[in-house]
Amino acid sequence: MTDYAIETKGLSLYYGRHRGVLDVDLRVEKGDIFGFLGPNGAGKTTTQRVLMDIIRPTVGKAYIFGKDCQKEGVAIRERIGYLPGELSLYNNMKARQFFKMYYSLQKNNNDPGHWQKLADRLGLDTSRKIREYSSGNKQKVGIVIAFMNKPDLLILDEPTSGLDPLVKQTVMELVREANQAGATVFFSSHILSEVQAVCNRVGIIREGQLVATERVEDLTTQHFRRIRFKFAKTPPGDAFTQEGVIETSRDEGGITLEVYTHLDRVMEQATSFGITDIETIPVSLEEIFLAYYGKGNGGNNA
């Protein structure tokens, strides 16, 4: 248990009779940058709130650094930097006052000037009242408070939401730097290119259930392969019609197939038409994600 930064066991949470998350067994290893993917309402925020002990599970357990999130929540939260998805701030305070207040209420106060460095990097003018900020600048305030205490675990709910591309990049740099300094990062995002760029592992949650947890490179190479063939003689239209294979394009330049299963059989068939060129086209995380959601069958898209 202690090898994991985050571990949930059979975690289910219902809002009355409405499903929040269902039987989630999640493991995030120490040192991971873990991307938590899913559409709106899938259960990402609910899972993160359970980890923060903001809401309690109906059944199941959640552990952070081996400690029960409900029973030892205070000790756990000393080591966590948290950015809520629906960030609400004290609008009448200046950002500087708010940072000082929030810092003073933390336990591991070891670098009182760190919030100012973070604010500078994000280009945030801390002398202004929070109510005067745009939504992007308010999000920057949230980023600063999550990172200000150099936590061992960062739980970030859509951290780049509402930020411009340059600031998004800075936030991703902060994530990488925190990770290099030893922090585990658990964040949800809709921007899959961002997740692919920074995360080493991802979990995909659909309708409250965790449907996949894999290393990013495994997910993008193992889920399906996209192969483009050029042939000496053009195969008939139904040449590759079989379970686990989708022909996505056909033109004079060749045929593109998405191969989910039976790669060996596909290669045999292709060889029979005289392969003149073969190319494996990289599959993005976004495509994998859409494949999981495309037909609602847990990823078996073929």
**Would you tell me which residues interact with other proteins (CB under 8 A)?**
12-17, 19-20, 49, 52-59, 74-75, 77-78, 80, 82, 84, 86-90, 101-102, 104-107, 145
Q: How far is the CB of 106 from other proteins (least distance, A)?
A: 7
* Nearer residue to other proteins within complex by CB, 90 or 230: 90
Q: How far is the CB of 107 from other proteins (least distance, A)?
A: 5
Q: How far is the CB of 201 from other proteins (least distance, A)?
A: 24
Q: How far is the CB of 16 from other proteins (least distance, A)?
A: 5
* Nearer residue to other proteins within complex by CB, 105 or 181: 105
Q: How far is the CB of 22 from other proteins (least distance, A)?
A: 9
* Nearer residue to other proteins within complex by CB, 145 or 195: 145
Task: Supply angle C-alpha 186, 192, 193, rounded to 5.
Answer: 110
- β 225-231/275-281 pair status: antiparallel
**Cβ atoms within 10 Å of 292's Cβ, excluding its own:** 23
Q: How far is the CB of 40 from other proteins (least distance, A)?
A: 16
How far apart are the C-alpha atoms of 278 and 59, rounded to whole Å?
Answer: 51
Q: How far is the CB of 269 from other proteins (least distance, A)?
A: 47
* Cα–Cα distance list, 126 to 84, 115, 122, 133, 156 (Å): 20, 10, 11, 10, 22
* Nearer residue to other proteins within complex by CB, 17 or 233: 17
* Nearer residue to other proteins within complex by CB, 51 or 245: 51
- Decide: 302 and 246 in contact? Cβ < 8 Å: yes
* Nearer residue to other proteins within complex by CB, 46 or 196: 46
How far apart, in Å, do the first and last CA atoms of the chain sit? 36
* Nearer residue to other proteins within complex by CB, 84 or 203: 84
By C-alpha distance, which of 4, 149, 151, 150 is closest to 64?
4
Burial of 263 (0-12, 13-18, 19+ CB in 10 A): middle
